[in-house]
Structure 1
Amino acid sequence: MISTETIIPFSAAGTDSAVLSIQHALWGTDELPRSTIEIAHDGQGILLKFDAFDKHLHSKKRSFNDDVHLDNCVEFFLRFPGDVNYYNFEFNCLGSIKAAYGPDRFQREFLPVEILQRVEQNLELSISNQNTIGLINWKVDIYIPLTAFYFSSISSLKNLDCEANFTKCGDMLAQPNYFSWVFIDTVTPDFHRPDFFGQIHFA
């Protein structure tokens, strides 16, 4: 049996994917319907489909590598085998993106803008008085080509065992929230903890 917090099955052709729950409400966050992340790869890049729920909307269109974590935001953390550093890709609900590489939250190097421009996104934001659960539902489909992993020499994802996490946050919302695929056992909010990343396998 495959543990939902350790191994994700992928299809090398990108036809199959895994849907995971961003299930852990952390650091005093109120419970919400679980946001999900669907992930797959096609050999040339990684496809992510975030489906998120929020009580409040607070976002703005930002420059590349601005503080999107202040807004309605989802994040993808990935560390390749044998590397002490990891990537973080962050997206707000208006499509602004921030991405960096380094060993922890303090020692990070932003990805160049020309690299971030290669990341493709499709956005959907639903705010309706017909929404019976009274929440904002927003979705973002993301394609990260291998060339976006700027500091690594990755020519193929096939048979790679990596470490990752998928998170949702909103530091400046009326009620800040923090959700994570893998449970993070820290006193204060900190997603930049590779010691809590889960294991994933690219088939």
Structure 2
Amino acid sequence: MESNYLIRKLDTSSRDAAWNLADNANIAEISHFLWMDNGYRPRTEAALTYTEHDLQLVFRVFEENPLLRFQSPNDPVYKDSCVEFFFQPSPDKDPRYLNLEINAAGTRLLGIGADRDERTLLPPDSHPPLLIETATGLHDEASGQTYWSVRATLPLQWLSDLFPDFRPAPGARMRGNFYKCGDETALPHYGCWSEIKSAQPNFHLSEWFGTLQFG
């Protein structure tokens, strides 16, 4: 069964509203942990909202001591404690997708292309600021657990410039997936929201993306 996610629209310019998962956003649980048999399945929540100007992305990861070594843009952050958002803004017109990968230090890797082998890494000076914020050692009052968080903002005009057929309006659909990984952490793991059917670790399989619909 294909995964489906409704992107709620926020009638506010306040960034803080987008980060209140309980009140303002649907939560996507990253519950499919694949390819490793070490029992490590960190609770991970993702959410996506939008305003007139931006897509707003947030993750919460319930890990106490995330690995955060890489500090330069487009470093291999997936080897650290990392969250990722892959998405096709215009899936019916353009097979390309963006892969945004962010470690717990706030270092990002950003690429564009149609598949795993044909990707172009985008340097920070090639796009507007993504306003990435991270925090570690946070306390969740409901569960008593420690977590870390990531926030990022994706300007809609920038996405429209990259994908001319992109129309972010109610009912419009993107395709994508939310991921949690840590290739070189003490307990390597690969988690996803929309389940992937593959014998080998590979997040770059757009045929397994779920539907992301603007509300």
- The answer to whether the superposition gives a TM-score over 0.5 is yes
What amino acid maps onto 1:183 in structure 2? E
What amino acid maps onto 2:179 in structure 1? T
**TM-score after normalising by structure 1:** 0.86
Look up the match of 1:146: 156
1:172-191 superposed matches below 5 A: 172-191=184-203
Q: Distance in 1 between matches of 2:114 and 2:200?
A: 19
Match of 2:81 among 63, 72, 75: 72
Q: Distance in 2 between matches of 1:27 and 1:105?
A: 18
CA contact (8 A) 1:115 1:147 kept: no
Look up the match of 1:18: 26
Q: Indicate yes or no: 2:195 matched with 1:197.
A: no
* SS of residue paired to 2:9: coil
Deviation at 1:127, TM superposition (A): 7.5
**TM-score after normalising by structure 2:** 0.81
1:25-64 superposed matches below 5 A: 25-29=33-37, 30-54=39-63, 57-64=66-73
Choose between structure 1 and 2: higher helix proportion.
2
Deviation at 1:58, TM superposition (A): 2.1
What amino acid maps onto 1:74 in structure 2? V
Q: Distance in 1 between matches of 2:146 and 2:2?
A: 26
How many residue pairs get aligned? The number is: 197
Structure 2 gap ranges (5+): 18-23
Deviation at 1:41, TM superposition (A): 0.4
Residue identity (%): 26
User: Moved runs in structure 1, 4+ residues, more than 6 A?
Assistant: none
Deviation at 1:108, TM superposition (A): 0.4
* SS of residue paired to 1:120: coil
Structure 1 gap ranges (5+): none
Q: Distance in 2 between matches of 1:40 and 1:127?
A: 22
